Amino acid sequence: MNNYSIISSLLDNDFYKFTMQNAVIKLFPSAIAKYEFINRGNHSFPNNFAEILKEILNQMALLKLSNKEKVFLEKNCPYLDSSYIDFLDKYQYNPNEVNIYQKGRNIKMNIEGLWSRTILWEVPLMAIISELYYKLTDKKRISDKKIIFLIKRKLKKYKKLNAKIGEFGTRRRYSYQVHKLVFKVLMEEGYPFFLGSSNVHLSQIFSIKPIGTQGHEWVMFHAAKYGFKTADRIAMENWLNVYNGNLGIALSDTYTSSIFFKNFNKKLSNAFKGIRHDSGDPIFFTKKAIEHYKKFKINPIQKKIIFSDNLTPDKVARISSFCKNKITPFFGIGTNFTNDVGVHSMNIVIKMIKAIPKKEWISVVKLSNVKEKSTGKKNMIFLAKKDLHL
């Protein structure tokens, strides 16, 4: 038995995984999904990494929602169905859904099963891989004191900019311990600019509402079921139907923002409180968004853009100054909070690669606004681009 118990709560995950899981159970309970680990940074994994990882996943099967956690969800997330919270109350991770094997220094991994179950694996798995990698390769971090100093210095900059910020750093954190330390400083020093975190477990510990809406897989699945051209629109309509206008931030770059804006009609533009930017030039995107809202006679200042693409204080300063008096920005800061500790952060992702929306497997792709962030089989990416005239 190893001593690497990294995830100690079922809620140590991003909030949008639970909001999507609730929607999946409601609308697509029999859908099946397959995810794949992608080592974008070509990291070299130490011997025995896969074996230790498997042991940790076996320990995760013991995690259960505590009564305190259940009460927290009921109180702070009233838009989650009570039947869904009952489902979560009985939910346990099944390590058999995850296949891991190691060849030399390379790790291969996929996750397969009911979408409503496998949806929760991605974020904690990435957090485990990241923390375990640093432990086994002995990558030492800076001291707690230095981390606290850095976070306070960043907060000073954000306060000066009047920037509203959230913490989105679970998946690529250096460790759980660092994440908790960062969260503590944000809670103590961040008022009134720190609006919350996507991590539900730490939100519960520190008594703050978790934040988040939906991820790319929501739209990717809709493309498998309804085709690329209408995926954005139907995904948004379904989201509205499930949440009645709550959690109203639309994701704008699954099939590039130009395709998104074509789908983001007047009704949806009015109904959603804002949009999330996750790839491509943020200034160019902001201009497009403002133009789009004005076309429908919607005042852009009443709408939000959640920026969440690899943010640093300098990037936030540039975006803030451009958005001033034009549209309302919010910044979801991930790795720069939870893994700015003197080591290289890992460049890894876990993405849905296939789904069975009806009867057979269909490959899914994400096109994004930048080539590096696109995922999926080459032939399917080619088909999607052809279909969308990109």
Residues 6+ apart with CB under 8 A from 297: none
Selection from 71, 95, 96, 97 nearest residue 85 by Cα: 71
Looking at residues 39-50, what average pLDDT do you find?
Answer: 96
From the CB of residue 366, how many other CB atoms can be counted at a distance below 10 Å? 24
Least confident span in 1-5, 211-215, 229-233: 1-5
- What tens digit of pLDDT does each residue of 275-290 get? 999 999 999 999 999 9
Q: What pLDDT, in 10s, does the model give residues 104-134?
A: 999 999 999 999 999 999 999 999 999 999 9
Cis peptide leading into 192, omega within 30 of 0? Answer: yes
Closest among 186, 146, 202 to 343, alpha carbons compared: 146
Domains of the chain with CATH codes: 15-140+347-387 (3.20.140.10), 144-338 (3.20.140.10)
pLDDT of residue 373: 77
Residue 3 has pLDDT above 90, yes or no: no
Helix residue ranges, H only, 306-353: 313-323, 335-338
350 pLDDT tier (thresholds 50, 70, 90): very high
The β-bridge relationship of strands 328-333 and 304-307 is: parallel
Indicate the pTM of the whole model.
0.96
